[in-house]
Amino acid sequence: MKCPEARQHLYPFLDDELDVPTNLDVLAHLHVCSRCADLFEEERQFNDSLRASQRSVTFAHDSRLRVLERFRRQAKPTPMRRLGSSMRGVAGIAAASVLLISLVFLAISLTSSSGLALSAAKIHERAIERHDDLRSWPIDSKTLEGYVRGRFEHASLQFLDATSLGVLGGRDCSQLEPGAVQVGLSMEGRPVSLYILSGAEYDLSEFEMRESGGRSVYVCPARRCAIVAWRCGDLIYALTGAVELEGALLSNVPSAH
Amino acid sequence: MTRKIIRTRREDLPSAEEFEEMVKPLLDRLFAVGRRLTGNEKDAEDLLQDTLLRAYRNMEKFELGTNLGAWMVKIETNLFRNAYRQKKIRPGRTDFEIAEAFHEEARCHESPDRLPTEELLDDEVLRALQEIPPEFRAVVDLAVFEGFSYAEIAEAIGCPIGTVMSRLFRGRRLLREKLREYAERTGMQIES
């Protein structure tokens, strides 16, 4: 990923709206491009400042009382409103009838093979969007291949050894973390992307969450590394292996406890 | 305070008193949203008032188990947008040409202007928000201040996600530009 493309993803990245592969691509770019890293960090700080500016806004006590008083007055049911309520019941029955008829038609249409195929494709698409296929480790190579191919249909997929990683400009993350799954992508014979996926367990007491608000980048200043983790309830799944930090990224890391 | 469970059977809908208890903890948030959207406390109070009433009268549409605050913020944003359309709330200057200029800038993938680095004050943020078009302002408010996802914003304002992203991009750039102008006028430090 080059600077213009990374910058296109600036706001979706900050808003945690990118899919996992693109997120990793952007992160990989930020690890090697200090200008973009500075830009992204600056924008993140700007967002934080905007939010912080609004934290002290309070709703004055007398205004609050006034609003609630007016609400009580207006919320009292009127005869017309009561009539409206009963009419809504009739309308509800009519709407339910229409819905039932629609469902019958929908069921008939779904019995055709194209309808079923479309439905299955949509379910699969949504599952990928929610990363359901990445929720358990160890992830098998077939699932991983399907996941990556689903994202980049014209890309060829390679599982890389340390030598190939060097060719692609990546580091041999197996030294940092044994068992990491390393995947390279190439488009028309040209390497375009590199993922290091890992299900390793980390001692998260060593790591600090870099940002609040759902971004799950954990950094370990002592080890000069970071992982991108994905939180699901109380469980944390690492999606990248430990990536070495340097330059601006490391200098912006919060101090270790 | 124990959180009440909202039941959606009509006969089980909360009374006005119960509804009032439920929304009391949300008033600060809803007022802050209204203040950012309208730019002043008087209009924010009126908007909050309308929001409470609209929410109360539509409680049967509230989905059990979802976030009441987020649902009411959506109602408030839509009331603001409708009020703006009907010109009940007069917006600040809306300069679409500036927005277009920023859009062009985005196409060129240029680096954005440097940002004010000192602490931003509430009133300057409020003033800057009023200087961006209301449609952009609503999206920026939901994303930046309320933490809504793009999909939630799209659902709330009835637009495709692409439109949300476009408005958010333009709105943020405009907001930053307004704040930068303000910082320059007041001598605030700008990174070089």
Q: Is A53 part of the contact surface with chain B (CB cutoff 8 Å)?
A: yes
Determine the Cα–Cα distance for residues B125 and A147; give it in Å rounded to an integer. 43
State which amino acid sits at residue A40: F
Q: Is A255 part of the contact surface with chain B (CB cutoff 8 Å)?
A: no
List, for residues A146-184, the tens digit of each pLDDT value. 554 544 444 444 444 445 444 444 444 445 444 444 444
State which amino acid sits at residue A79: P
Q: What ipTM is given for this predicted complex?
A: 0.72
Nearest CA in chain B to A213: B147
Determine the Cα–Cα distance for residues B27 and B45; give it in Å rounded to an integer. 10
Q: For chain B, what is the mean pLDDT? A: 74
**pLDDT-based confidence at A256, cuts 50/70/90?**
very low
Please tell me which of the candidates A45, A51, A58 has its beta carbon nearest to residue B144.
A51
User: What is the count of residue pairs from A and B with beta carbons less than 8 Å apart?
Assistant: 99
Q: DSSP for B122-189?
A: HHHHHHHHHTS-HHHHHHHIIIIIS---HHHHHHHHT--HHHHHHHHHHHHHHHHHHHHHHHHHHT--
Task: Identify the CA nearest to A215 among candidates A234, A231, A197.
Answer: A231
Q: Is A54 part of the contact surface with chain B (CB cutoff 8 Å)?
A: yes
Chain A nearest C-alpha distance from B86 (Å):
22
Determine the Cα–Cα distance for residues B36 and B30; give it in Å rounded to an integer. 10
Please tell me which of the candidates A59, A72, A75 has its beta carbon nearest to residue B27.
A59
Q: Is B115 part of the contact surface with chain A (CB cutoff 8 Å)?
A: yes
Q: Which helix (H) or strand (E) holds A155?
A: none
Chain B nearest C-alpha distance from A70 (Å):
7
| Bridge partners, residue A181, by sequence | A197
**pLDDT-based confidence at B87, cuts 50/70/90?**
low
Length of chain A: 257
Residue B70, both tokens: 């987020």
List, for residues B129-182, the tens digit of each pLDDT value. 888 888 889 999 999 988 888 888 888 888 888 888 888 988 998 888 888 877
| Bridge partners, residue A156, by sequence | A186
What pLDDT, on a 0 to 100 scale, did the predictor assign at position A205?
63
Give the count of beta carbons closer than 10 Å to the beta carbon of residue B80: 27
Nearest CA in chain A to B57: A75
- The four Cα atoms B113, B169, A246, A220 give a dihedral, to 10 degrees, of 130
What pLDDT, on a 0 to 100 scale, did the predictor assign at position A183?
47
Question: First and final CA of chain B: distance in angstroms?
Answer: 50
List, for residues A36-81, the tens digit of each pLDDT value. 888 888 888 888 888 888 777 778 888 888 888 888 888 776 544 4
**Mutation target among A71, A73, A129 for the B interface, most CBs of B within 10 A:** A71
Determine the Cα–Cα distance for residues B73 and A192; give it in Å rounded to an integer. 42
